[in-house]
Structure 1
Amino acid sequence: MSGSPTSQALQARCSLDIPTIDQNNATTISTVHQDIIETNILTRLDGPTLASVSCASTHLHALASQEHLWTNICHSTWPSTTSPRVRHVISNFHNGSRFFFSDAFPLATEPVASRDLSENFDLPSKLISAVDIYYKKELIFSKVVEAETVSAWFKCSPFRVDLLDPKEAVSTRIPHPDKDDTCRDLEEDMELSWILIDPIGKRAMDLSSHRPVTVNRHWLSGEVQVKFASVVGGGVIGAATELVQCEVVVTCGGSTRGEMHVREVSLLMENVDGMYLNGNDSLVILKRALDGKRGKGKKREVERKKEVENFLERKKERKERKSRREGTLDMLCVAFGVLAFASSASFLLLK
């Protein structure tokens, strides 16, 4: 019976061990023990979700801002950040791994105020590239390279960052593309991140589209070229460098065992005229992109794809305009030549 001593004792014991919720009062996250939040909840979240949680309350902001949480997220998102050199650089960032993630994960949507490429301002003396490639969610390539940017050779030569030496190759589990299905698999299942880091300016950004924009197989050699890309703002509006494409090329070749080897991973900078930029111009554009505002990170692959499509359309339009101008000049030259010939012939006949 409800009024029995046994029943009353049980209710009293339950009221002490299990907190009851008043229907008239709203419950808060503070009712959950802090150790449970830190150990069993926050450690299971990805970066964007953890960032959202940190905005929910002052209490959660303090818990979600702990350095070890963001360090683990950076390492799981980009395994190349476990490199001692990159870890040291990240430790010098304001708010460490948390700021690094917020800088590198979303898109760089707006560069700093437009500057002419010839204008001199503080440029990075070094650039660090942290690159990770996945196939079917399995890490197949991870490497960090550091390039100096102050030599005359770098500034005058075409900008290019190579992660592998010409004779170097990295084995993978990707089957050799004997059929077109393998190329489609690469387009669907290969992912790449290229985090560019300015260790002096303490800024970072991702230059990759994450998914390939094109996958092509050479009909003779059988090598497969997978391209990733992103578009950043360049120079003056209307100029060839108004938009610049950061093009990442991954070349895979077959091996004697029937598996693919990664033989090239490189980064180049291309303007809308189809010309590759030199080191100095590329460095100015990358510096402006590093200092620019970041997007929210949502649907970033879709946004990157649209940006690349827009770049290719602009490139096509400029090429067509250039062809029309050259065609008009050719017609004028021919007309001028005919007129000059007719004038000379008339002069000789009338003489």
Structure 2
Amino acid sequence: MAIDDRCPAFGDDGGGEATAIEDLPTDVLALVLRRLDGASLAALGCASSTFHDLATDPDAWRALCLALCPSVRDVVRDGDGAKGAHRQLFADAFPFPSPAVSPSSAVPRCGLPTRLVSAVDLHHRGACIMSRVVETDASGWFLGSPFRVDALVQEGFSAPTSIAPAELALSWVLIDPASGRAVNASSRRPVCVDRRWLTGEAVVRFAVVLGDVVLDAAVTCDERYGHVREVSLCMEDGEGGGVSGRDGLAVVAAAMAGARQGRGAEEAARLRYQEFVKGRTDRKKRKARREGIIDLCCSVVGAAAFLGFLLMLTFR
């Protein structure tokens, strides 16, 4: 609906004066605008000065953030000196990051984050079954270790009902408290489900590809009994190896400062992950083929040397 569309006044038969949407009371407009999604609310704010003031309402953006990620309730607050914090968080964390990021070109000007805050929310069939905030000291031993953040470890928890892995949804927002920037680290919808038939567990992956690495958020659960055992985030390269904490932080920081994608990014994230896995599998096959050829050549050379030694002994 165009912003300047007119509608007949209440009780008018069509021949009287028309009423603009801007003529509605401000509190009524504010309640209506809170039903919009983030992209629509931001677009509406560009229509006029009146809508701009309404579209920057901190309560509206706070409601949008909490609807998608309840755990940010205890992380971000709009207050003195932080006006618009939820609006900035929404702009940073809820669109998908640009995939054009690599560890070799990802060193930001302001340096690497020294602390990361993870806001993690796990939903099943629309109901939130886990909401947790995890703080990670991103210095010292973390820099030399493989990049990994655990939101849930061996103690686990049991969901109210049995779990259908394909109907899980995961929101994992990484926040740098020093800069106030954030980035979405999960695909929200599963990109694949790996079942371990011997143990009856399923590993549900919510992966985001950033250049030649992948942020792999995984949920390990027992779908029969509704037990969630592990929720973790790690980073892997194109060969399937772990990325160090230093390189991982560089990728995360560059993703925070980089561009964001628009609508349809969830499906694009799934397809990009499938291409990433296919490329990794192809590289492993080529590597195994090269190693097989090298082994064969070494075996032939060894056999030839042994035969030559036997011939030398025979005709000596």
Deviation at 1:154, TM superposition (A): 1.3
> Which residues in structure 2 correspond to 1:288-303 (within 5 Å)?
288-296=254-262, 298-303=263-268
Letter in 1 for 2:136: A
Letter in 2 for 1:265: V
Q: Which of 109, 125, 128 is residue 114 of structure 2 equivalent to? A: 125
Q: Tell me, which stretches of 5 or more residues in structure 2 are unaligned? A: 1-10
Deviation at 1:271, TM superposition (A): 1.3
Deviation at 1:207, TM superposition (A): 1.2
Preserved contact between residue 93 and residue 100 of structure 1 (Cα < 8 Å)? no
Preserved contact between residue 230 and residue 247 of structure 1 (Cα < 8 Å)? yes
> What corresponds to 1:278 in structure 2?
244
Is the aligned partner of 1:232 residue 2:210? yes
Structure 2: distance between partners of 1:266 and 1:90: 32
Q: Secondary structure at the match of 2:188?
A: coil
Deviation at 1:287, TM superposition (A): 1.8
> Which residues in structure 2 correspond to 1:4-153 (within 5 Å)?
20-21=17-18, 29-39=21-31, 41-83=32-74, 86-88=75-77, 95-111=84-100, 115=104, 122-151=111-140, 153=141
Structure 1: distance between partners of 2:28 and 2:109: 53
What CA deviation, in whole Å up to 9, does each residue of 1:285-310 have, x standing for no partner? 222222211112x1121011011111
Q: Which of 181, 202, 213 is residue 244 of structure 1 equivalent to? A: 213
Structure 1: distance between partners of 2:197 and 2:101: 44
- Equivalent pairs counted in the alignment come to 304
> What corresponds to 2:3 in structure 1?
none
What CA deviation, in whole Å up to 9, does each residue of 1:104-131 have, x standing for no partner? 1111115568736899971000011101
What CA deviation, in whole Å up to 9, does each residue of 1:258-313 have, x standing for no partner? 842222111111111111223222222222222211112x1121011011111111
Q: Tell me, which stretches of 5 or more residues in structure 1 are unaligned? A: 1-13, 22-26, 176-181, 234-242
Letter in 1 for 2:290: R
Structure 1: distance between partners of 2:53 and 2:193: 45
Percent identity between the aligned chains?
37
Letter in 2 for 1:164: L
Over 3 Å counting, the alpha-carbon distance change for 1:63 and 1:259 in structure 2 is same
Q: Secondary structure at the match of 2:161?
A: strand
> What corresponds to 1:339 in structure 2?
304
Deviation at 1:222, TM superposition (A): 2.8
Deviation at 1:99, TM superposition (A): 1.4
Letter in 2 for 1:333: C
Structure 1: distance between partners of 2:291 and 2:146: 27
> Which residues in structure 2 correspond to 1:297-316 (within 5 Å)?
298-316=263-281
Q: TM-score scaled to structure 2, two decimals?
A: 0.85
Letter in 2 for 1:251: T
> What corresponds to 1:162 in structure 2?
150
Letter in 2 for 1:199: P
Preserved contact between residue 92 and residue 202 of structure 1 (Cα < 8 Å)? no
Deviation at 1:88, TM superposition (A): 4.5
> What corresponds to 1:236 in structure 2?
none
Preserved contact between residue 81 and residue 87 of structure 1 (Cα < 8 Å)? yes
Answer 1 or 2: which has greater helix percent: 1
Over 3 Å counting, the alpha-carbon distance change for 1:226 and 1:92 in structure 2 is farther
Larger Rg: 1
Preserved contact between residue 93 and residue 202 of structure 1 (Cα < 8 Å)? no
Over 3 Å counting, the alpha-carbon distance change for 1:223 and 1:198 in structure 2 is same
Q: TM-score scaled to structure 1, two decimals?
A: 0.77
Q: Secondary structure at the match of 1:288?
A: helix
